[in-house]
Every structure is written in C-alpha cells, then in structure tokens.
Amino acid sequence: MRHDWEAIAAALELWDAETRTAKARARHDARLACIRREAREIGVARLVLRAFVGLQPIGCEPLHYPDPSPANNRLDNLRWAPRGTSKLGRILGPSAPPVVHGSERPSAVLREDQIPTIRQLYRSGWRYKEIAADLGVSEEAIRQVLIGRAWTAIPDPDGPIVMRHGPDSDACANTKLDWDSVAEIRHQRTEGLSYRAIGEKHGVSKATIRDICKRRTWKGRER
C-alpha cells in the first residue's frame, strides 16, 4: 500500500496549525474572561489605570477629568487622585450641569418671596404647622426655613429666629401634658421625686420626664 507522504505531511501541518490556533483562541478567551471579571469587581477605570499607569496609591481613587462621565474610561481622561476629588471633578467638568439655587431647583416647594412672609408669620405667633398648612407644604420644609438650614441666601434683618418649643408641644395632637402639668413635674422633681415616680403619676415615660426636667422639651415660658 503506497502512501502519499506529501499529503500526509500537509494534513499534519494543517492540523498542528489549527490546534495552535484553537489553543491561542482558548487562552485569549480565558484572558478576556479574566479581564471582564476584574472589570466587574474593581471597575473599568481602576483596571485601565492599573494596566497603564501603575498600582493604586494609598488613599487615592480614579478621577474622570476633564470629562466627568463614568463611561469615558479613556486613558487620557483618567488619573489617580485623592479620595473625594472625583466629586470635585464632576463639579468642575465642562459637561457638568449648572448649579441652581432657590426656586429654580426642581425639588423646590417654596419661592423667594414666601420666605420673609414665613418668618414674619412665625414671629407674629403662628405655629410652623399652621404656616405649612396654609402654604400647602410639609411641616419640615417650614421648620428648615425657621431654624436657618434652608433658604439662607435670603437675609433676615431681624436676626436668627428663636423657636417656640413649648406652644408647639402644647398644641401637639397626641400630647398627654399641658403647661400646668409641666410646671407640676418640675416642681415635683425639685422635691426629690424620681423620674419614674413622676412619670407614673402623669402617665408618661421616664425619658419624657427627664427631658422636661432638663428642659430639652417644653423649653418655653412656664404658664
């Protein structure tokens, strides 16, 4: 039986090339799967910086700048920066949205012209709950204005507002006490009664009595 040795050699060479190609493809797929797994675990930005810049320095994080978009992971848009700088980069970036204040904010429920009115109504004796009901906003929104945590850009010529905790506590729908009870509680405490004993007399908790006696609550003028 005669063999075509040239054909056999050509077949063996083709088989060897295909085997090498299959092995190379398998190695490539394995490396690609490893890269994808690392990208999911540590993020694409960290992966790019670790590959082309170096290991992550202690106390640093990836910074996208000048383009703050997290999807832009090009090497020229990435660098290691101290933690917290990424927030600054988003603010300074050319594509960052403009900063808006006051009634221009989408979440604003009040207007600039309402803030002096709110302060004036509270000083004239209105409770902040009544002001909130009149304006159709939440009580917390009015309270934030009165305590100076919101709308601080609008000056108050009369200075900071002193909150009236007592009257609001007295007007609370679920309160068990009034100003006469508060005065009696503080008098009983000066006589030496314990918080627990006073609480049992008035049907409230020991913590409530302690807050009243330490003037954490019902801090207004006793009646």
Is residue 61 very low, low, confident or very high in pLDDT (cuts 50, 70, 90)?
Answer: confident
Lowest mean pLDDT among 19-23, 153-157, 198-202: 19-23
Q: What is the pLDDT of residue 170?
A: 52
Say yes or no: 147 and 182 in one domain.
no
Say yes or no: 62 and 118 in one domain.
no
Say yes or no: 79 and 139 in one domain.
no
Say yes or no: 72 and 135 in one domain.
no
Say yes or no: 29 and 86 in one domain.
yes
Does residue 17 lie within any of the structural domains?
Answer: yes
Say yes or no: 209 and 153 in one domain.
no
Does residue 179 lie within any of the structural domains?
Answer: yes
The percent of residues above 70 in pLDDT, for the chain, comes to 67
Does residue 74 lie within any of the structural domains?
Answer: yes
Q: Which of 162, 177, 194 is the last residue of a domain?
A: 162
Dihedral sign for Cα atoms in the order 143, 148, 152, 154: positive
Q: Which of 63, 92, 121 is the last residue of a domain?
A: 92
Is residue 173 very low, low, confident or very high in pLDDT (cuts 50, 70, 90)?
Answer: low
* The pLDDT of residue 223 is above 50: no
Q: Which residue's structure tokens are 């170096």?
A: 54
Say yes or no: 15 and 65 in one domain.
yes
Highest mean pLDDT among 54-63, 86-95, 181-190: 181-190
Say yes or no: 197 and 148 in one domain.
no
Say yes or no: 74 and 22 in one domain.
yes
Q: Domain tally for the chain?
A: 3
Stronger pLDDT, 6 or 53, i.e. the higher one: 53
Question: What span, in angstroms and rounded, lies between the C-alpha atoms of 216 and 104?
Answer: 37
Does residue 204 lie within any of the structural domains?
Answer: yes
Say yes or no: 136 and 153 in one domain.
yes
Say yes or no: 150 and 189 in one domain.
no
Provide the CA 155 distance to its chain's centre, in angstroms. 27
* The pLDDT of residue 47 is above 50: yes
Does residue 105 lie within any of the structural domains?
Answer: no
DSSP H helices, the chain, are 5-42, 44-52, 85-92, 114-123, 128-135, 139-146, 165-170, 179-190, 195-202, 206-213
Does residue 202 lie within any of the structural domains?
Answer: yes
66 in Cβ contact with 94 (< 8 Å): yes
Does residue 115 lie within any of the structural domains?
Answer: yes
**Radius of gyration for the alpha carbons in the chain, expressed in angstroms and rounded:** 35
Q: What is the pLDDT of residues 82-126, one digit of tens each?
A: 887 766 555 444 455 566 677 777 778 888 899 999 998 888 878
Stronger pLDDT, 135 or 108, i.e. the higher one: 135
Does residue 35 lie within any of the structural domains?
Answer: yes
Range of the domain at 115: 110-162
- Report the chain's mean pLDDT, rounded to a whole number: 75
Q: Which of 61, 92, 123 is the last residue of a domain?
A: 92
Say yes or no: 146 and 181 in one domain.
no
